[in-house]
Amino acid sequence: MLSLPDYPVRQRDFLLEISRAITAQLDLSEVLRRVLRASVVMTAARVGVVALRGESDEQFTVRAFTGMQQDRVPVLNAKLLELVNSDQAEFSVEFLNAKLREMSEAIDPALVQAVAMPLTFADKPLGLLIVFRSYQSLISPSDVQILQSFADQAAIAVHNAQLYEAINQERRRLEAILDYSGDGVMILSPHLLILQINRAFEQMTGWKSVDAVGLHQDEVIQWVRRDQIDLQDAMSAGLFPKRQPNGRTLYVEGDIQRRDGLTASLGITYAPLFNEDGKLTTIIANVRDIAHYRRAQEMQNVFISTVSHELRTPVAIIKGYASTLNRSDVEWDAAVVRESVAVIEEEADRLAELIDDLLAASKIQAENNVRLTLSDVRLDQMAARAVERFSKQTQRHTFALSFPADYPSIQGDEKLLRQVVDNLLTNAIKYSPNGGTITVGGRFSETTVNFFVRDEGVGIPEAEQQRIFERFYRIDGNLTSKTKGTGLGLYLVRAIITAHRGEINVKSQPGHGSTFYFSLPRD
């Protein structure tokens, strides 16, 4: 036990030690350890415990202790739970002392006295500081003052640690949002120095964070071509930033040179952040890869142009033949009339097919699905009928069928699968302008049925072989520009095969023809 003159000195020393711990670090466990050590020494206690209130369940649980074994913690937590959940009407000093005696006995029957002080900050209860003595004595005002001083320091430490944890949790949350965002993010200083970038930005520009941070934005964002004024020029001209109630951003779009020398199409939205005094603190740049958007725009423009041409041609032919037949100054014989009507009918069928393709593509895009009407389908018989039809439409091509005699039937949508076969044969004829043999065949296994269409045409470059199944996509080439089509046929083919739980692919080599093949499950 300390002598009376030593009390103020030791109390002051302990308080200074705890205060330094609070200001030097935010390690709550270390601060609580020092608080307990001081409390036990200054009150001549054997055991010290700090119990803190949970943020969510508001229950008190032991967070730090000294002078007892770890296996006593669950017992103390149970006693604390009884204390917190007690009826307020029966809560009194006597009730509290009774519960403290139960805690003393639960720790060690030799402990005969306990003193508890609340940890509060801004009238908010944060926990309890409890010391246990192995002897009974009068609890002096000095003991209460000492414990209150240490409890106040512990409350400050708990409050600071909770604030730090909340800030740290928010920081981690924002970092996760930043790192895993699909858009690139670049944070700039008022002088346009890069403070931070995320992973998406690294992928778009080829710059790593360790190399980009600290550089001027213009060293990383090097415009090869841009459609608007850039950030530096906008700031020099006083156009950006401007503090307005509804905020103001700057959008710049164009092509930049990546660090690896390649080109990337980007759209960047710059948003300024100001402090309370209206001073610019940071600029947040949201970076989006617009290559797919531009490609889609180009495909849409090509599609509109192609469809306009595809629609105009049969309409012009139908109108021409109809006007010719309608002339009153000429008497047409029956053969000419039949021939003209046949052309009109053929062009009308072309229009109907085009409209059907457009409607089907639109429906697939909107519903992300193809509806099937299932029945037994014999692909070998379907191919034979298709070959018979198509052989009458071309004189330059010969057709061959290659199916085993026991080729099985499958469950499928007959109408849609016929559209697949017709589209593949149509393409084989279109892209074999010099003729040759078109082979239609299939094989099967215990689980799948395979089907292929092989031609001896111009072939497809390897880089284009996956893109030809995209909507509206057509290979750029002399033959393509002279060949009718909207770029929807193979898109519909893949959608239909996928709806049947199948797969479609192509093998091709420029100048050596192409083989389109798909597999469907037998079950």
User: Per residue in 401-437, pLDDT tens?
Assistant: 999 999 999 999 998 899 899 989 989 998 898 899 9
Q: Which region, left, alpha or beta, applies to residue 507 given φ > 0 means left and ψ of -120 to 50 means alpha?
A: beta
Give the model's pLDDT for residue 479: 47
Name the residue type at position 53: R
Cis bond leading into 190, ω under 30°?
no
Indicate the length of the chain as a whole number.
Answer: 523
Query: Is 1.10.240.10 the CATH classification of the domain at 294-367?
Result: no
**For residues 249 and 28, which has the higher predicted lDDT (pLDDT)?**
249
* CA-wise closest residue to 276 among 243, 320, 317, 318: 243
pLDDT in tens, 502-520: 999 999 989 889 999 999 9
Give the model's pLDDT for residue 67: 94
> What is the distance between the alpha carbons of residues 19 and 106, in angstroms, rounded to a whole number?
32
Topology alike, domains 6-172 and 183-289? yes
For domain 6-172, give the CATH number. 3.30.450.40
Segment 222-233 shows an average pLDDT of: 91
* CA-wise closest residue to 343 among 368, 362, 318: 318
Cα dihedral 355, 361, 367, 370 sign? positive
Instruction: Say if residue 4's pLDDT is above 50.
Output: no
- Poorest-pLDDT segment among 10-19, 246-255, 463-472: 10-19
Task: State in words which class domain 375-521 has.
Answer: alpha beta
Q: Is 472 helix (H, G, I), strand (E, B) or coil?
A: coil
Query: Is 3.40.630.30 the CATH classification of the domain at 183-289?
Result: no
End-to-end CA distance of the chain: 88
Instruction: Say if residue 248's pLDDT is above 90.
Output: no
**For residues 180 and 293, which has the higher predicted lDDT (pLDDT)?**
180
Q: For helices 291-325 and 334-367, what crossing angle results, to 10°?
A: 160
- Domain ranges within the chain, ordered by starting residue: 6-172, 183-289, 294-367, 375-521
Reported as a pLDDT band with limits 50, 70 and 90, residue 393 is: confident
Token couple for 384? 């034979």
Angle at 225 between CA 303 and CA 257, to 5 degrees: 105
> What is the distance between the alpha carbons of residues 22 and 90, in angstroms, rounded to a whole number?
37
